[in-house]
């Protein structure tokens, strides 16, 4: 390819960023090994075709890390339940495979000299099929060290093996030192090696051995990774230990039978369909656990994110340890917990359901994208953008009881704003679609058969008591496939939505250039939907002109763009606005109140 090298915007470990000019030229096909690995994954996908949709999406993820068919809503349930580690290939998967291979070698009469070689071949094949993700690499290196210890006859020591694996992998790929996935994998393994054995010993004094083992493993792994999870997400999982405990018996059967099906499918696809059937039953149990746990009240609770959150959680854990060891403090702590529990139950009983009464705007949690719903009468709403996933957008509208959409507004033709249109149309009548006047027509494949209008500045629309005014974009050349992301973002529709006692500025994805041009036309509003998911390209004058008491950022958890940018959050705080984020709060409801606008979050 032909490219121009530039200085990267973010330091990290990048030497340069390459801006590619023109299409790449293919020099050759994938290697035979790569083709064989993809053939295994493809045959496994074919083998699971007969399973229900959810099982079809989860089983390949558990076996070879293929989550291409996984429903986004189900993935979120796994995350909430603390089971998301099952959807990626990790050391647990590799340990199950190595254990099965060594057991098979023992049954076949292979001695200690040959069994490690067979297991090593299985490890290499596993890594090739599952792809060398950080957790897979860590597990593979640690497994290889363990096999070397077995071959040499020396006692296997898990902690030194883990340390050796971490050092070796970081030396090979220093970027792993900044990978949350790698850190979580290492922390979980360290918890199993350091915390689980003594906890298992203590628990066996009070309960049966198998239950003590399962509880110790689940608790140790969760305890070790919780500070990192809080640092990453700003949430504390409450049900994760119980969810992992109930799901644990089904993990090994699902993984082993799924791996067997992948091997069998390579030779006989019809036989593989029989093998995946019991694997699907095990996966079905895990899915039920994930959904049940995620639906429980307070499955996760908000906690301070970043390093401060990790430190405060560590201090809280140390205080809890002191309380557990000192009888007077233990009694006092139990009394406090009972009081808190009673208060939480009371609040839960008296709290209104979802959606809250009198809501004017709902910012749906659609991941890394925008999906906004403006109330427009009984079971009617104007929808502004539809997010990247039809399932998530449909789910939000179902929760709101929306059956008719008088107007669907697509601010600009980026996938994270238009690909969820199918979810808006699912079982609902959409009367009209409003698109940017500079649209490239990319969204036309999703809105066929609907009346389409182009938005121009000065247009005004009234739906019930909802009044919409178009501020941007000004007329200009049509967008094309050659336009960069900034050009397309700056062509976004910008709206002011008003109804009695409520006003909001919906800024699409416009960046600094378009924001600066609009400053003079921005009216003061109650609510600002922060442009472009809180990216760093914000004009302070634009934010100040809005004067919003509440700012909402529609952003996906763990996104690759660094949204919202720290500089943007600092800018918003300086304007004394309250900040809400869908990655932390889920759906965010703006409700008309006696004095101004109040906020209710779904989490």
More confident: 334 or 504 = 504
Higher pLDDT, 548 or 158: 548
Determine the Cα angle at 295 with ends 290 and 299, to 5°: 85
Is the pLDDT confidence value at 235 over 80? no
User: Which token pair is 173?
Assistant: 């790929």
The tokens describing 67, both together, are 């989550």
Q: Is the pLDDT of residue 587 over 90?
A: yes
Cβ distance 439 to 406 under 8 Å? no
* Average pLDDT for 270-274: 86
Q: Is the pTM of this model over 0.75?
A: no
Query: What is d(CA 469, CA 317) in angstroms, rounded to the nearest whole number?
Result: 52
Query: What's the confidence (pLDDT) of residue 34?
Result: 86
**What confidence tier does 204 reach under pLDDT thresholds 50, 70, 90?**
confident
Task: Answer yes or no: are the C-beta atoms of 459 and 407 closer than 8 Å.
Answer: no
3-state helix, strand, coil in the chain (%, to 5): 55, 15, 30
The CA distances from residue 268 to 52, 392, 475, in Å, are 21, 37, 60
Q: How confident is the model at residue 351 (pLDDT cuts 50, 70, 90)?
A: low
pLDDT at 289: 92
What is the C-alpha to C-alpha distance for residues 453 and 197, in angstroms, rounded to an integer? 66
The Cα–Cα gap between 140 and 137 comes to 5
Widest CA span in the chain: 82
> E strands of 11-124, at which residues?
17-21
Mean pLDDT (the chain, rounded): 84
Q: pLDDT at position 33, please?
A: 86
CA distance linking residue 207 with residue 210, whole number of Å: 9
- Which residues, 6+ apart, have CB-to-CB distance to 171 below 8 Å? none
Whether 238 and 299 have beta carbons less than 8 Å apart is answered as: yes
Instruction: Give the chain's count of helices (H) and strands (E).
Output: 22, 21
Residue 521: DSSP 8-state: G
Where does the pLDDT of residue 441 fall: very low under 50, low under 70, confident under 90, or very high at 90 and above?
Answer: confident
Nearest to 217, CA basis, from 239, 181, 189, 237: 189
pLDDT (0 to 100) of residue 151: 59
Please, which residues bridge with residue 430 across strands?
405
- Arithmetic mean of pLDDT, 230-253: 79
**Better-scored residue on pLDDT, 393 or 246:** 393
For the ranges 26-30, 154-158, 263-267, the maximum mean pLDDT occurs at: 26-30
241 backbone dihedrals φ, ψ, rounded to 5°: -65, -45
Alpha helices for 155-208 (secondary structure H): 158-172, 180-194, 196-203
Q: Does residue 537 have a cis peptide bond before it, meaning omega lies within 30 degrees of 0? A: no
Task: Provide the pairing of β-strand 429-430 with 404-405.
Answer: parallel
Looking at per-residue pLDDT, the higher value among 200 and 158 belongs to 200
First to last CA, the chain: 47
How far, in Å, CA of 435 to CA of 421, rounded?
13
pLDDT band with cut points at 50, 70 and 90 for residue 458: very high
CA 552 to chain centre: 19
Residue 528 has pLDDT above 90, yes or no: yes
Q: Calculate mean pLDDT across residues 29-49.
A: 86
What is the enclosing helix (H) or strand (E) of 384?
A: strand 381-384
Residue 381 confidence class, pLDDT cut points 50, 70, 90: very high
Closest CA to 447 of 461, 470, 430: 430
Mean pLDDT over 525-530 rounds to: 96
CA angle 250, 255, 256 (to 5 degrees): 105
Judge whether residue 153 has pLDDT over 60.
Answer: no
Q: CA 509 to CA 143: how far, in whole Å?
A: 46
DSSP conformational letter for 380: B
């Amino acid at each position: 390819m032909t490219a121009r090298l530039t200085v990267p915007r973010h330091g990290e470990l990048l030497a340069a960023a390459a801006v590619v000019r023109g299409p790449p030229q293919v020099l050759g096909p994938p290697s035979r090994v790569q083709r064989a690995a993809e053939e295994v994954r493809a045959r496994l996908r074919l083998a699971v075709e007969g399973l229900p949709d959810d099982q079809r999406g989860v089983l390949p993820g558990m076996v070879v890390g293929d989550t291409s068919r996984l429903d986004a809503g189900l993935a979120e349930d796994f995350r909430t339940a603390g089971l998301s580690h099952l959807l990626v290939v990790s050391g647990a998967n590799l340990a199950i495979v190595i254990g099965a291979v060594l057991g098979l070698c023992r049954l076949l009469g292979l001695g200690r000299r040959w069994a490690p070689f067979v297991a090593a071949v299985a490890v290499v094949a596993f890594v090739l099929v599952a792809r060398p993700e950080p957790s897979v690499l860590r597990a593979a290196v640690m497994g290889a060290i363990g096999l070397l210890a077995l071959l040499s006859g020396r006692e296997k020591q898990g902690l030194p093996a883990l340390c050796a694996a971490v050092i070796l992998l970081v030396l090979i790929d220093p970027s792993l030192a900044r990978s949350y996935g790698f850190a979580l994998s290492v922390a979980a393994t360290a918890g199993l090696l350091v915390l689980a054995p003594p906890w298992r010993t203590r628990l066996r004094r009070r309960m049966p051995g198998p239950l003590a083992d399962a509880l110790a493993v689940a608790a140790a792994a969760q305890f070790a990774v919780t500070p990192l999870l809080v640092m990453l997400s700003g949430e504390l999982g409450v049900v994760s230990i119980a969810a992992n405990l109930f799901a644990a018996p089904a993990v090994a059967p699902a993984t082993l039978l799924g791996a067997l099906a992948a091997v069998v499918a390579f030779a006989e696809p019809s036989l593989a369909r029989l093998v995946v059937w019991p694997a699907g039953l095990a996966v079905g149990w895990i899915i039920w656990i994930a959904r049940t746990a995620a639906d429980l009240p307070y499955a996760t609770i908000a906690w301070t994110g970043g390093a401060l959150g990790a430190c405060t959680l560590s201090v809280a854990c140390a205080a809890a340890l002191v309380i557990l060891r000192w009888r007077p403090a233990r009694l006092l702590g139990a009394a406090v917990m009972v009081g808190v529990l009673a208060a939480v139950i009371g609040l839960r009983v008296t709290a209104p359901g979802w959606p809250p009464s009198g809501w004017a705007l709902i910012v749906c949690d659609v991941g890394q994208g925008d999906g906004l719903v403006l109330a427009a009468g009984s079971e009617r709403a104007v929808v502004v953008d539809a997010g990247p996933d039809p399932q998530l957008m449909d789910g939000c509208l179902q929760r709101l009881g929306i059956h008719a959409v008088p107007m669907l507004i697509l601010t600009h033709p980026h996938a994270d704003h238009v690909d969820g249109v199918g979810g808006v149309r699912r079982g609902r009548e959409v009367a009209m679609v409003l698109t940017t006047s500079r649209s490239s027509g990319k969204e036309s494949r999703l809105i066929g058969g609907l009346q389409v209008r182009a938005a121009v500045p000065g247009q005004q629309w009234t739906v019930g008591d909802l009044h919409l005014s178009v501020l941007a974009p000004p007329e200009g050349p049509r967008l094309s496939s050659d336009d960069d992301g900034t050009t397309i973002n700056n062509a976004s529709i910008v709206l002011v939505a008003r109804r009695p006692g409520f006003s909001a500025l919906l800024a699409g994805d416009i960046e600094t250039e378009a924001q600066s041009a609009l400053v003079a036309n921005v009216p003061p509003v109650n609510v600002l939907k922060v442009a472009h998911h809180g990216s760093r390209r914000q004009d302070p004058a634009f934010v100040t002109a809005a004067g919003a008491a509440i700012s909402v950022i529609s952003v996906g958890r763990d996104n690759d763009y660094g949204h919202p940018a720290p500089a943007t959050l600092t800018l918003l705080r300086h304007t004394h606005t309250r900040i809400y984020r869908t990655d932390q709060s889920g759906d965010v409801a703006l409700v008309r109140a006696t004095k101004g606008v109040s906020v209710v979050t779904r989490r």
